[in-house]
Structures are given as C-alpha cells and as structure tokens.
C-alpha cells in the first residue's frame, strides 16, 4: 500500500479556497438562489477562488471562534510542497453571520483545521472519483452524520487548478480547498466536528476531529 505522509504546514505560503465547485451547474445555481434568499450574495463566478491567510491552516484538535454561529465543511485539500502534490482532509470552518456580510470576510475569520496525514496525489489520481468524504457533528453527547458523498460531485483538482492559475498543478507552497458537499438537514453549529476521507480502492482513510470553543461576542 502507498505510504501515508506527514503534512509540513511550514512550507505553505498561500491558501486558496475554491467555492461553488459542483460539476452539476444546475444544482449549483439552485443552491446560489437558496442562499440569496437568506442574504448571501451571489458569487462573481462559479467556481470562485477565495484567498485566505495561510496562517489559518492548523492541525490542532481545537479552534476558537467568536460566538456560536460558525460551522465546519468537509473538503479535500491539495498541497504543492517542494514540487510534489499531496491530498489531505480539511474543514473550511466558516462564520455564518459574517458570510451574509461578505463571503471573503467569513473565510478569513476562522481557523481551517486539516489532517496531519496526507496522501501523494499521484497514488489516488487514477481513481479520484471513488474517494468519499464524510463529516459528523457532535453536540450534547450525540453524534450524527452531517455530510456524505463522493468527490465526483465536485470538479477535479486538475480542472480547479487550471481555472485558478492556468496550470493543471498548483504553484509551489500553495494549499487549495476543493469544495464541499451539501449537509443533511440544516447548516448547524456544534461542539465538535469530525471528518474523514475514504479511499475504498486502496482500503484506507484520513481522519481528523476538532473541538470548537466559542468566545463571547461582546458586540
């Protein structure tokens, strides 16, 4: 079986968060209209590529957020480190209150937890669409499935890279979040967010979980 690698976040200098990456353009448009109805502005393009500080990336098992109106989103994360591309697991944790003011603002407000382990992208590229993403939320002691689906719901990493930078690979020292899945039920804040990326072809998983500590919002 191919090796699991340890992520070196110290080599990452820029962070890109790809949004609205669904392959089904009609479903993407429907979701945009749903969010418009609750005050979230329509993106300028689809997909759209938000920039955020690389310092937001963390492998910690706890993050701190303002108030109780943020939530996680499970995603594949690509990294180019010294010319080699890796894939890991991450959560685009987002402040939903700020999202209604500006999506770019909301992306910058929360830490972005990622798995400490990664795979070489070349090991999974031949069967990329077989990979499965899941997330779970836990609050009050009860764990429930929050998101689940194939990465085939989103555009491929190569396509996202070409749309962002004109090349099929990321620039060196760059990380890119590749898009998320719809949630089961409503978007929900929780005390803990758990996530996994499963490779059923090679019989392995990447996992990460983190607690969310809410800081008081004094206005």
**Average pLDDT for residues 212-219, to the nearest whole number?**
93
Average pLDDT, the chain: 94
My answer on whether omega of the bond before 197 falls inside 30° of 0, hence cis, is: no
Report d(CA 70, CA 68) in Å as an integer.
6
The tally of CA atoms less than 13 A away on the side-chain side of residue 11 is 15
What is the chain's Cα-based Rg?
16
Indicate if the pLDDT at residue 39 is higher than 80: no
pLDDT recorded at residue 32: 82
Number of H helices, E strands in the chain: 5, 16
Retrieve residue 163's tokens. Answer: 């749309």
pLDDT recorded at residue 38: 67
**Average pLDDT for residues 9-34, to the nearest whole number?**
90
Q: Could you report the per-residue pLDDT of 134-149, keeping only the tens digit for each?
A: 999 987 788 999 999 9
Retrieve residue 160's tokens. Answer: 């996202």
Output the DSSP codes for 69-121: -EE--EEEEEEEETTEEEEEEEE--EEHHHHTT-HHHHHHSS-EEB-SEEEEH
For residues 130 and 199, is the Cβ–Cβ distance under 8 A?
yes
Report d(CA 42, CA 190) in Å as an integer.
26
Cβ neighbour number for residue 3 with a 10 Å cutoff: 7
pLDDT recorded at residue 156: 97
**Average pLDDT for residues 14-31, to the nearest whole number?**
91
7: helix, coil or strand?
coil
| Residue of 172, 131, 176, 166 lying closest to 149 (CA atoms) | 131
Q: pLDDT class for 160, splitting at 50, 70, 90?
A: very high
């Amino acid at each position: 079986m191919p090796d699991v690698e340890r992520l070196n976040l110290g080599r990452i200098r820029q962070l890109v968060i790809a949004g609205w990456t669904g392959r089904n353009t009609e479903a993407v448009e429907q979701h945009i209209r749903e969010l418009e109805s609750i005050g979230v502005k329509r993106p300028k393009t689809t997909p759209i590529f938000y920039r955020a500080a690389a310092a937001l990336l963390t492998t910690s098992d706890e993050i701190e957020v303002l108030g109780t109106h943020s939530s996680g989103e499970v995603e594949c994360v690509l990294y180019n480190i010294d010319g080699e591309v890796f894939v890991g697991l991450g959560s685009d944790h987002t402040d939903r209150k700020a999202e209604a003011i500006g999506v770019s603002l909301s992306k910058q407000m929360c830490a972005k937890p990622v798995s400490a382990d990664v795979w070489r992208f070349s090991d999974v590229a031949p069967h990329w669409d077989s990979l499965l993403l899941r997330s779970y939320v836990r609050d009050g002691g009860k764990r429930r499935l929050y998101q689940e689906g194939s990465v085939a719901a989103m555009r491929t990493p190569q396509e996202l890279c070409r749309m962002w930078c004109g090349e099929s690979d990321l620039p060196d020292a760059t990380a890119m979040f590749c898009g998320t899945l719809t949630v089961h039920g409503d978007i929900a804040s929780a005390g803990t967010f758990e996530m996994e990326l499963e490779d059923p072809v090679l019989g392995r998983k990447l996992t990460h979980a983190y607690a969310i500590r809410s800081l008081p919002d004094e206005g």
